[in-house]
Structure 1
């Protein structure tokens, strides 16, 4: 099974240069649940593709009230399935679609947040490369400027844009800053929010608590993710929450103080110890008391 990053990289790079085409305004949708706990649909993608309704209803029965979408069929199909299962969809990742189709899908699904997780790779492709991103100070500034443009486009469509990280954003770029620090500094706080993937922050050698404490109001979304100890450089085997290297008790406390709105469980593969849905059960049981 491809990692989510590999999956998105293969699809997102196809349409990167068309991201800033004109879009149409839409409505702003807000999730009504208080302190909801959600899951990224990609985590259970194989189960979902094998049995869509059974998987979504199982997630609901576990206790999840929200999913963060990726669209692998059509937005209309996913919307109807979520409605039948009783699951809300406040956020979606649009890398595999592109910005304009992503905005259209967000309006169909009724999401508030539209999120990119492959922006450095998209920009590398737009510069004529093969999508191999670099993480220098200049790269960070260019990415921030582009994120502001996407954020403005999302705002005009009645949506909120958010940037999702991986571990390489915590590369040092000089003057005591990381690439991610520059993104926070150089983006408009109203146009660009952040979805902090806490597992990847940890893998990048930083503490998610520090980012929540330093940026109240900027991080309305997060991914709760864990990894086993790395067996080799650049290998990050996924783990069920509570069975890896990340302690989420202080992270969740800091996130709530910083104004977190939505928390989505996401686990990287391989799912060799337990199935995707069993991992979802374990993750929920660990995180729900902290949320």
Structure 2
């Protein structure tokens, strides 16, 4: 299994050269990028190469990165060695809920972006949070709308955010196995624990049934698994404990 590490998890523990060295020492060979490491793609690539790390995937926000700044986005992805890129979140107006028409409009934009990114030789997809599983006026779910109205996009399924959206992750994985190429692997702490980490936990040290979830993801032929913690108070601890737990799944 290809295991990676979302660098957003270590954004408060820079310099990045130290982060890359720590991840390599913990046993990682791959990382996933985000906007905080794209200022100088060549320098980032050199630092990754020095640490023996590859970056097969990356997040680019907002979706205008695949519209107004498409050439720059593609160039960054190529410099860093990515083969798949994801839009990781909607704009602020949709985080407050939005409506069906607004989410369909976003889906249409994603479908057009996907065609352009695919034409450039890369895969393109969406990364979810919890907003997509909260009923809109009338009861529709934004995740359903995105998958229906952007039929070409991949899905990087963030499993813990599905749970925080009060949805059943295994049901969603099974229903959309043909769309999920990549998964974010993180954990949710028990009630009252890890409050200084926004209730997130190291993988294998929370409440998520990762044995059952991984069985579903493997059956869906997901081929890239990205360790993530949105607010760790110790990135080294999170990285080490998470890859150790993941290897036993």
TM-score category by the smaller chain? 0.7 to 0.9
- Is structure 2 residue 206 aligned with structure 1 residue 244? yes
Spell out the pairing of 1:45-64 with structure 2 (5 A cutoff).
45-47=11-13, 49-50=14-15, 52-64=16-28
1:137-177 deviations in whole A, cap 9, x for unaligned?
22221121111011112112211111011101101237764
After TM superposition, the score normalised by the length of structure 2 is 0.88
- Is structure 2 residue 62 aligned with structure 1 residue 98? no
Structure 2: how far apart are the matches of 1:185 and 1:41? 30
- Is structure 2 residue 121 aligned with structure 1 residue 158? yes
Report the 3-state secondary structure (helix = DSSP H, G, I; strand = E; otherwise coil) of the residue aligned with 2:11.
Answer: helix
- Counterpart contact for 1:135–1:168, Cα < 8 Å: no
Structure 1: how far apart are the matches of 2:121 and 2:27? 30
- Is structure 2 residue 190 aligned with structure 1 residue 224? no
Change (3 A) 1:236 1:170: farther
Structure 2: how far apart are the matches of 1:205 and 1:219? 19
Report the 3-state secondary structure (helix = DSSP H, G, I; strand = E; otherwise coil) of the residue aligned with 1:222.
Answer: strand
Shift of 1:106: 0.3
Aligned to 1:259: 221
Aligned to 1:111: 82
1:43-79 deviations in whole A, cap 9, x for unaligned?
11222x22x3332122122121210012433111111
After TM superposition, the score normalised by the length of structure 1 is 0.76
- Counterpart contact for 1:120–1:133, Cα < 8 Å: no
Change (3 A) 1:119 1:102: farther
Give the total of aligned pairs: 238
RMSD (CA atoms): 2.1
- Counterpart contact for 1:167–1:203, Cα < 8 Å: yes
Spell out the pairing of 1:110-129 with structure 2 (5 A cutoff).
110-121=81-92, 124=93
Gaps of 5+ in 2: none
Structure 2: how far apart are the matches of 1:282 and 1:229? 17
